[in-house]
């Protein structure tokens, strides 16, 4: 009887300790990437974070403007032998087809950022699909590559948006670090916003702005000094 009592106490302690660990981990954000990337109730979910077991991070650059700053950014990426993921707006790509082709030729990954940058949550499933497919077709015509990652404008998503993307074979990508560079903050602010949150599997949202381009050399240096490799979104979410 005493042995049975001790066994039950040990089992209770294990369950209690496990519960405490999970609670603390969720509240502190340690397990947030795991739960964020899990499909709940069979519904597609957006991905906010990459693999947390490897020291890799990715830049996700949404492009609907700012083409004048891309040459400087591309040079920095080339100088550091880095490939990132550019999410292309279709109507922008139609205006600058040579730039889209150059991004692909340089070895960067291209994702889909809709055709006309609408608010996805206001659209029906069919209209969401139309936006994705129009951008996909244009990018494919220019690069002979099919996009498989989708970044919805404004970071908007709901079940309709996610289902539309998933039914077309897309993974919806969000971010774990937002530089908010579209507000044109100083370079040191951009760098600080990234470095104070950098961790394994971080997806860093950027845009082609003047200060983003200027901040990249120092930002990349600091990221590498922490032991991280900078790669594409597909690489860090293990979708190749």
Asked whether the predicted pLDDT for residue 20 surpasses 90, the reply is no
Q: Residue 206, Cβ neighbours under 10 Å: how many? A: 27
For position 2, what pLDDT does the model report? 47
Taking CA atoms, 45 is separated from 35, 78, 101, in Å, by 10, 33, 30
Closest to 200 measured CA to CA, from 146, 149, 236 = 236
Rounded Cα distance, 79 and 53, in Å: 27
Same domain, 198 and 140: yes
Angle, in degrees to the nearest 10, between helices 70-79 and 210-225? 20
Same domain, 64 and 141: yes
Asked whether the predicted pLDDT for residue 77 surpasses 90, the reply is yes
Asked whether the predicted pLDDT for residue 21 surpasses 80, the reply is no
Asked whether the predicted pLDDT for residue 185 surpasses 60, the reply is yes
Asked whether the predicted pLDDT for residue 7 surpasses 50, the reply is no
pLDDT interval class at 42 (50, 70, 90): confident
Share of the chain above pLDDT 90, in %: 81
Asked whether the predicted pLDDT for residue 93 surpasses 70, the reply is yes
Least confident of 37-51, 64-78, 102-116, 148-162: 37-51
Split into its structural domains, the chain has a count of 2
CATH of the domain at 168: 3.20.20.370
Same domain, 52 and 100: yes
For position 27, what pLDDT does the model report? 39
With respect to residue 156, please indicate whether it lies within any of the assigned structural domains.
Answer: yes
pLDDT, average across residues 176-186? 98
pLDDT, average across residues 150-161? 98
For position 175, what pLDDT does the model report? 98
pLDDT interval class at 5 (50, 70, 90): very low
Least confident of 39-43, 222-226, 230-234: 39-43
Same domain, 177 and 139: yes
For position 10, what pLDDT does the model report? 53
pLDDT, average across residues 128-144? 98
Query: Do the Cβ atoms of 83 and 109 come closer than 8 Å?
Result: yes
For position 11, what pLDDT does the model report? 53
Same domain, 147 and 168: yes
Same domain, 65 and 169: yes
Same domain, 24 and 128: no
Which residues constitute the domain of residue 108? 40-236
Q: What is the pLDDT of residues 112-130, one digit of tens each?
A: 999 999 999 999 999 999 9
Query: Do the Cβ atoms of 172 and 203 come closer than 8 Å?
Result: no
For position 150, what pLDDT does the model report? 98
Rounded Cα distance, 70 and 160, in Å: 33
* Token pair belonging to 20: 């405490």
Question: What stretch of H or E contains 59?
Answer: strand 56-63
């Amino acid at each position: 009887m005493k042995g049975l009592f001790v066994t039950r106490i040990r089992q209770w302690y294990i369950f209690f300790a496990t519960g405490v660990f999970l609670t603390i981990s969720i509240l502190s954000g340690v397990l947030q990437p795991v739960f964020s990337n899990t499909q709940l109730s069979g519904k597609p979910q957006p991905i906010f974070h990459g693999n947390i077991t490897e020291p890799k991070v990715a830049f996700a650059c949404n492009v609907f403007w700012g083409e004048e700053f891309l040459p400087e950014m591309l040079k920095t990426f080339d100088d550091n032998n880095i490939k990132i993921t550019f999410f292309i707006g279709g109507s922008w790509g139609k205006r600058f087809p040579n730039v889209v082709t150059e991004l692909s030729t340089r070895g960067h990954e291209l994702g889909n950022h809709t055709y006309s940058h609408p608010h996805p949550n206001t659209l029906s499933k069919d209209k969401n699909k139309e936006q994705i497919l129009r951008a996909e077709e244009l990018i494919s015509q220019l690069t002979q590559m099919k996009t498989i990652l989708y970044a919805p404008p404004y970071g908007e998503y709901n079940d309709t948006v996610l289902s539309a993307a998933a039914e077309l074979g897309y993974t919806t990508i969000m971010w774990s670090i937002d530089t908010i560079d579209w507000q044109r903050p100083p370079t040191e602010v951009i760098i600080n916003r990234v470095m104070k949150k950098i961790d394994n599997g971080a997806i860093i949202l950027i845009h082609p702005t003047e200060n983003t381009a200027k901040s990249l050399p120092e930002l990349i240096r600091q990221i590498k000094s922490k032991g991280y490799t900078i790669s594409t979104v597909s690489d860090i979410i293990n979708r190749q």
